[in-house]
Amino acid sequence: MDFLDEMRAETKALREQVLGHPFVRGIGDGTLDAGRFRFYLGQDYAFLIEYARIVAIASAKSPDLATQARFASLLDATLNVEMDLHRRVCAANGIGPDELVATQPTLACAAYTQHLLSVAWTGTLGELCASLVPCQHGYAEIASSLAPATRPDNSYADWIVAYASPEYQELAEWICDLTDRLASEATEPEREAMRRAYVDSSVHELAFWDMAWAAF
Active-site annotation, residues = 135, 205
Burial (CB count within 10 angstroms: exposed 0-12, middle 13-18, buried 19+), residue 207? middle
Rounded to whole angstroms, how far apart are CA atoms 131 and 195?
9
Q: What are the backbone angles phi and psi of residue 66, rounded to the nearest 5°?
A: -65, -45
Percent of the chain as helix, strand, coil, to the nearest 5: 85, 0, 15
With a CB cutoff of 8 Å and minimum separation 6, the contacts of 183 are 2, 3, 4, 126, 130, 191, 194
What sign results for the dihedral spanned by CA atoms 206, 19, 170, 133?
Answer: positive
Task: Looking at 123-156, list the stretches that DSSP marks H as alpha helix, in order from N- to C-terminal side.
Answer: 125-146
CA-based nearest residue to 112, from 131, 130, 127, 129: 131
CA-based nearest residue to 194, from 112, 139, 125, 115: 125
